[in-house]
C-alpha cells in the first residue's frame, strides 16, 4: 500500500524559515495536503497542491512538489512561536477509495 | 457556520464499559472517518463510511463499532473488547476529495 514518511522533529529559531519534508511512494497521487495540529486539537488543513503543479504559495507558506522524486515540502517563512505544532502531510490517489494516507507528523518547535 | 462537532471533549471509562463518542457534521459531506492518535504517533484509521448505511473497517477496527444511520452522524463505540482504549480520537468528513478532510476537535478518552 501507499506509504507517506516524514521526519519526526524540527527545531528552528523565531524569524527563520522552516522546511518540513515528506516523501510518498505512489506515483499516481493526485492531491497532496499539509495539515497543522496544535496541542489537544484536531487537524487543520493548511494547503493542498494538485499533482500537476510544482509549487503553490499562500502568504508565508510555500509548497514544493517534486514528482520525479515523490517529495513534498512545506516552507514556512518568518516562523513564529504560534507555528509550533505537529505538521502532517497526506496524499490521495485513486487506489484508496477516497481515503487520504497520512504521514506520521513532524513536530515543529520554534525557539526564541 | 458549517463544521464537524465531536463530543464530549473528555471522556472517562471504567474497565469493562462500552462508551460512545459522538461525531456530527453539517457540511453535507458523504464520507466520514474515525482515527485514533496515541501520544507522539500519527493517525490510525479505525472505521470509515462513504455513504449512509455503509461502512468499512480501517487498520485497527478490533474492539470498535460504528453506525451510519444518518448522513450527518457517525458515532463510534469503544467496546470492552478494546484492551487499550486510552487515546485521542479524531473524526473527519470529506466531500470533494480535492478539499481534503475536515476534522473535529477530538475526544480524549481515558480508562480509569
Least confident of A75-84, B75-84, B91-100: B91-100
Q: Using CB atoms, pick whichever of B50, B102, B106 lies closest to residue A41.
A: B106
Q: Give the burial class of A8: count Cβ atoms within 10 A of its Cβ; 0-12 exposed, 13-18 middle, 19 or more buried.
A: exposed
β-bridge pairing B107-111 and B10-13: parallel
Q: In chain A, how long is the greatest CA-to-CA distance?
A: 44
Average pLDDT on B41-46 reads 91
The cell 476537535 sits on which residue? B105
The per-residue pLDDT for range A1-48, each reduced to its tens digit, is 678 999 999 999 999 999 999 999 887 888 999 999 999 999 999 999
Average pLDDT on B29-52 reads 93
Q: Tell me the shortest Cα–Cα distance from B26 to chain A, in angstroms.
A: 17
Residue B99 to residue A92, Cβ atoms within 8 A? no
Question: How many angstroms separate the Cα of B104 from the Cα of each of A32, A35, A42, B1?
Answer: 20, 13, 6, 14
Question: How many angstroms separate the Cα of A41 from the Cα of each of A30, A53, B4, B88?
Answer: 27, 30, 13, 9
**What pLDDT is attached to residue B44?**
93
Question: For residue A93, what is the nearest residue in chain B, using CA coordinates?
Answer: B97
The per-residue pLDDT for range A57-67, each reduced to its tens digit, is 999 999 999 99
Average pLDDT on B44-63 reads 95
Closest by CA to B32, choosing from B81, B85, B102, is: B102
Report whether pLDDT(B98) > 80: no
**What pLDDT is attached to residue A3?**
86
Report whether pLDDT(A96) > 70: no
Please name the residues in contact with B66: beta carbons below 8 A apart, sequence gap of 6 or more: B34, B46, B47, B49, B55, B74, B75, B76, B77
Amino acid at each position: 500500500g501507499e506509504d507517506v514518511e516524514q521526519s519526526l522533529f524540527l527545531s528552528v529559531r523565531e524569524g527563520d524559515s522552516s522546511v518540513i519534508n515528506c516523501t510518498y511512494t505512489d506515483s499516481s497521487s493526485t492531491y497532496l495536503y499539509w495539515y497543522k495540529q496544535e496541542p489537544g486539537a484536531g487537524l487543520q488543513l493548511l494547503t493542498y497542491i494538485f499533482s500537476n503543479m510544482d509549487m503553490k504559495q499562500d502568504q508565508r507558506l510555500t509548497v514544493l512538489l517534486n514528482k520525479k522524486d515523490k517529495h513534498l515540502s512545506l516552507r514556512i517563512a518568518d516562523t513564529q512561536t504560534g507555528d509550533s505544532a505537529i505538521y502532517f502531510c497526506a496524499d490521495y490517489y485513486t487506489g484508496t477509495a477516497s481515503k487520504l494516507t497520512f504521514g506520521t507528523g513532524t513536530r515543529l518547535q520554534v525557539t526564541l | 457556520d458549517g463544521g464537524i462537532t465531536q463530543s464530549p471533549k473528555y471522556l472517562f471509562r471504567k474497565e469493562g464499559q462500552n462508551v460512545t463518542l459522538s461525531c456530527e457534521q453539517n457540511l453535507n459531506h458523504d464520507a466520514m472517518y474515525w482515527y485514533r492518535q496515541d501520544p507522539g504517533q500519527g493517525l490510525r484509521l479505525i472505521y470509515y463510511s462513504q455513504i449512509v448505511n455503509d461502512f468499512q473497517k480501517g487498520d485497527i477496527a478490533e474492539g470498535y463499532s460504528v453506525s451510519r444511520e444518518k448522513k450527518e452522524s457517525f458515532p463510534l463505540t469503544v467496546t470492552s473488547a478494546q484492551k487499550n482504549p486510552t487515546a485521542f480520537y479524531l473524526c473527519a468528513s470529506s466531500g470533494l476529495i480535492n478539499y481534503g478532510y475536515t476534522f473535529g476537535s477530538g475526544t480524549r478518552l481515558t480508562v480509569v
